[in-house]
Chains A and B, each alone.
Chain A
């Protein structure tokens, strides 16, 4: 088995007196998709902000290829090959595709003070990288990013990350705002990145999407790692139950089932459920 590319050991994070993350241990290997699952407020966002250098952990160690690292800024993280793509692609709606692709790393040509931005090259590379990811509708790098669909923006951002040599790709809810077809396309792009040997950390609360592409799953509940398992070790229902805070979903299903058995298949009125009676 290959050495982990990125390793977290006993990561803790607290804001003031609130513990947001407790003892997180995770590993991700090259060419592997790690799905980070969890309900809202479970600490997923804080964890990826630590991974991408926006926050520093209160305690704990991070290692890349076996060497300890400390990120003081997002720049440090990106210098170590970590790229983060946010839900809406983190792109600039009123910039051209080419310019947006190269923001912060603009290609220039010319000499001395007359170095100018090579927008032709930028546009060509951006279009080529997007086409390589299966976005064939885009043929002009001079178009504005705002004219792209959500999935196309994700492709632009992922293409950019891979082009600039990211070997750890963090995707924050890439499919949350997308339609079914577009989400499938983004998942396909994730598989492409994985095949190139990129380690992908996919944050999502869509279990179906996670099960489609994930090799390794980690479930966060209230800041703690509730489960850490590999593909095929758990069923979809088990994962959903875990994300919904453990037994809550299973309890509800059991109650409904018991009621249906007792009442000839009828579904109960919500007020008849024990949980609701006790709070009434």
Chain B
């Protein structure tokens, strides 16, 4: 048997022959799952521009879907990261509520400095995420159940403590100065929430981590094949715990933002984010099985979700139908993700159909 290329100099061989002329092409772009999310966002936007009229495209109209998109996005991006790693977080609703309530209790009810309230609220979020991650990695119980339990447990705790301390389920808090500016103010003529900047910050930071740093590679590997990832020496448990802390941190950040924005905290706040964040992530092309997804996709998924949810009010139709819209959209998104995944897994763009 003749064996080629066994000489030691084989590694030094010129790489010119192996380089491709260009990695950018339309067919490559279409193979990416987030392309579906982009098409959905643009399509839905055009649909409501046509049916919603000029109020929809005016800055007030834009704010109606961009503001909720920002709040959802701050949670959906770290939840998406967690789903890429193959885990779910259903506890974001109660994390949001309890962080919000913690801030209102510490800085409103007890009158402590606002910075203390914010730090305690965000720490509570990180702690909840840490506990979620610890239970999931140690017990091997599916994160679906663990975080569902956390969601209920924390909701009960928040309600019990709030009622015991204040005798009410709603706590007021007055903020001004830097905290109001940083977390709960409006810009652009009082229409856009400052949360939009927080969202942009999360996009940049998490986008960097996932797509540019080596830790992103670890996240994809953990979601792609946990056993193989562990065999290559990736600290898989620590990666998962960090991601649970990330999604909980996103939720408690939104809790802080909402509390300061609306000058009050309600114990029942935030439960809508549990499923809305997952819907946004799935519309954004993240595979439910883990191992694939992108921050850009989740951003488009969030925008699509938010435009559908708010755009219907501009059409003059009965808004009762908005959920039906979202349900159908979610189903289409999942079906499209599967198709994109199949396309992405087939090698050879030069193959012509026919």
Contact = CB atoms under 8 A, between A and B. Distances in A.
Interface residues of B, number: 41
Contact of A195 (B6, B345, B348): B6
Contact of B228 (A90, A102, A146, A196): A90
A196 B3 CA distance: 11
Given A94-B344, A117-B212, A117-B213, A104 B19 contact: no
Interface stretch (B9-17, B58-66, B112-120, B130-138): B9-17
A93 B212 CA distance: 20
A117 B219 CA distance: 13
A147 B291 contact: no
Contact of A127 (B18, B221, B344, B347): B18
A143 B20 CA distance: 12
Contact of B220 (A75, A94, A129): A94
A147 B23 contact: no
B225 interface: yes
Interface in A137-157: 137, 139-140, 142-144, 146-148
B318 interface: no
Interface residues of A, number: 44
B20 A75 contact: no
B11 A144 contact: no
Nearest to A99: B217
Contacts of A99: 217, 220
Contact of A106 (B4, B217, B344): B217
Interface in B11-35: 11, 13, 15, 18-20, 23
A192 B231 contact: no
Contacts of A94: 220, 224, 287, 291-292, 341, 344-345
B1 interface: yes
A264 interface: no
A188 B4 CA distance: 10
A92 B220 contact: yes
B164 interface: no
A172 to B, nearest CB: 12
8 tightest A-B CB contacts, nearest first: A147-B347, A104-B232, A92-B224, A106-B214, A146-B345, A116-B212, A94-B292, A90-B228
Given A74-B231, A92-B224, A106-B217, 11 more contacts: A90-B227, A92-B221, A93-B291, A94-B344, A94-B345, A103-B229, A104-B218, A108-B214, A132-B13, A144-B347, A147-B348
8 contacts: A86-B228, A93-B345, A94-B287, A102-B217, A103-B234, A128-B13, A133-B5, A143-B347
